[in-house]
Structure 1
Amino acid sequence: MLDRLDINLPPKPYCTNCFSDGLIIRRKKDAIDYKYIQINSPFQLNYLILDLDYDAALSEILYSKIGIPLPNIVIENTENGRAHILFELAVPVHTGNTSRLKPISFAKDILKKLKLIYSADFNYVGLIAKNPHSSEWRTTQLRKTPYLLNELNDLVDKMDIEYPDVKFKYNNGIVNDHKENIGRNCYIFEIARNWAYSEIRKYRNTADSLWRDTVLNYCDELNNKLSNPLSRSEIRCIAKSISLFCLKNDQKYYAAFIARQKNRGELGGKKSRRSANQSSERSLKPWETEGISRATYYRRKHIAE
């Protein structure tokens, strides 16, 4: 499982040894030495991650919460037993700009149910977790087989728990409801990235620093509207990821757009250059012979038919 986790890690994950120092980006081979690391890519969900912010979490799982779906990996603090737990997905959920929203919503639905079952921290957004390779933590593997989403959903639905409404509403790819329940990080990322994809058009001939500051300010505005805002370092990480992606890809997507428009124009031109039919009403213009307007001619023809 840990070998699969190493393969699934982002190529340049966020990592840190101390959150007060902020998050940094390192190549995977270097990030693996840090105490905390980004498990999921921003564009692919391989793990559902929960933060069990209570002591002796592993003992609670094994002896008190009997019958619950077991996580694949438990990464616990050796001093107090508080842990991050990972549910590995057999089929990753893609979360990019062109990804289908239904599986994303389904995965978030399951994640919320798991948080209720495990009494996990609802404010935890899953960006950074304890690194299972770090000697700072004790890592335990409880289940070898990854979960299918449907399988995991069936297991959590069998639990005797009354779930509140967990529907997620989207409007053109933008989350517009339950922003606290889907995770503050995910909420800000989803809103800001969809805004940025079109907003960057206004900054194509400006300094990159102006664009980066604009994205950061927008993320700050979203964060300030939350009842429990994210830290400044987390907002900077989200804004940096979005602004760099847009700077890197905008010209490519803009060129593809121009090529599509040119192709459509050429196709339209080919269709419009067809030769005239000399026997058609458009060529013969019978309304001129009758001394009436073209509109009157066709109106009378329509009534007669």
Structure 2
Amino acid sequence: MQVNRKDMQAWMVFDIDHDHRSVPNPYIWQDEGLPPPNLIVRNRTSNKAHLFYAIVPVCTSDQARSKPIQYLKAIYRALALRLEADLSYSGPVAKTPFHPWWQTTELHRSVYELNELADSLELERTRPWLRQDMDFSYSRNCTLFEHTRRYAYDIVDEEREKGSYTSFKRRVESFAHYKNTGTADKPPLKCSEVLAVVKSVSRWTWDKYCARSDCQRGVMRLDSGLSLQEKQRRAARRTHNLRRTKTTRRIIRTCQVLLRKNQELTIGLVARNADLCRQTVSRYVYLFEWVKSALSESRQNGPEHRGNYAVHQISAPITLYWAESELGKKKAVLESAFP
């Protein structure tokens, strides 16, 4: 029987086969200290079973929010690993509770919140910085998946701008059916399998894929003959210098504002007003004296005037040229010492 609707999931079902054991253990949740399932539907002969957890329904339709779905999947995977359940089982058909073919044990009728289940689990954190293995099995499903996802990556930005998720999914589905030609020794995939690939690719691509069109590739005009490591080293140095210059300007502006308010420059005060951490400001503490010196010099050189200034008489603020030139000298010394 199909326990969940296509657009709503109210049950989490785990397939307990335990092929690595001599006898499957449907009560493994007790050994692992996990919340008890609502139902245990067991094969009378082999002891293989389905564990049913009733949960607050989660919408899984095309219009559903992606974060609850991702949270649900993370909990399901973590719970399946602890139960040693079959990770390849995805439903939607499950053993029918209370059918005479199976032995059904009802433990309780409570409905779990997702947070209740998550409290006893350690959810896996996604690590996008890890490189994924680009090799994949050339089965029909994997081949169709690879072709479909690359097509989806190409059109998703256009559909986000001019279309909608529905039109995007429709185009992906048309492409998948076009590519579902099979091989010389294997027929094409079933329509249901194609739609499963389309749903997976469409949802993930729409929610998470972001092409790096703003990465300014080639802006440094590096020699094409340089090795990849050398290009990365120079790009990292450029990024560091840009970030350092931006932080320097931010701290100088903050120091100017605080000095005009007759406030003492401290690391904590500058950090709070510049919205930077204390560790960062402590590395630029030498700027405090520079700004004080420049401000006092501008005040000494300026004419003494007791009345209000007209608009055309207001002097310009302290420029960053002086501090940046000093920073440039320091940078030149470092680069000469460490080429």
Higher relative contact order (CA 8 A, sep 6+): 1
| TM-score (structure 2 length as normaliser) | 0.40
Richer in strand (by share): 1
Q: Radius of gyration: which is bigger?
A: 2
